[in-house]
Structure 1
Amino acid sequence: MFLFISGAEIVFILIIVVMVFGADKLPGIARELGKGMRQLKNATNEVKSEIQKSAEKNGLDSDFTKGIGEEVTKVKDDLENFTGSVKRKL
């Protein structure tokens, strides 16, 4: 579950999207959504890497960076779960 949206609500949103944009534009929209998710994933990995490098450089506790890494991983997993359900619906 992503942001408390159920499967039925996702289907309803997809029906509205098809009605507004048309079926011929859906592949392009899905492609752009995929690119955006990939960019977000790359950005979170870069932020995680920079935080770890900075922490190591300044001698900070690595437990702090592990906690941040776990949170970033959770967000990434939630996004992948959401995009997976969108891909299956399309």
Structure 2
Amino acid sequence: MGSLGWPEILIILLVIVLLFGAAKLPTLARSAGRSMRIFKSEMNEMKNDGKPSPVEGAVPPAADTVVPDPATKPATDPVTDPTKKNQA
């Protein structure tokens, strides 16, 4: 009594097509796929517990190299900076 057979599944699919229309079904399937993708990524994020995932193929910088912070602006050189003309 608890299992669905092929006739029941076909009737359910027919009712869905009649309710939503054949034109909206691809859009519904696409949005369901996106929702599942988002759900899967959120579950993976919960498993990692906020730890950043390594980028595939990325090589970590060596310990003695200096990586510039993109938030800071580089210092301008008064010799090459055109706004600082002839200040001696």
TM-score, normalised by the number of residues in structure 2: 0.45
Higher relative contact order (CA 8 A, sep 6+): 1
Structure whose residues are more often helix by fraction: 1
Larger Rg: 2
TM-score, normalised by the number of residues in structure 1: 0.44
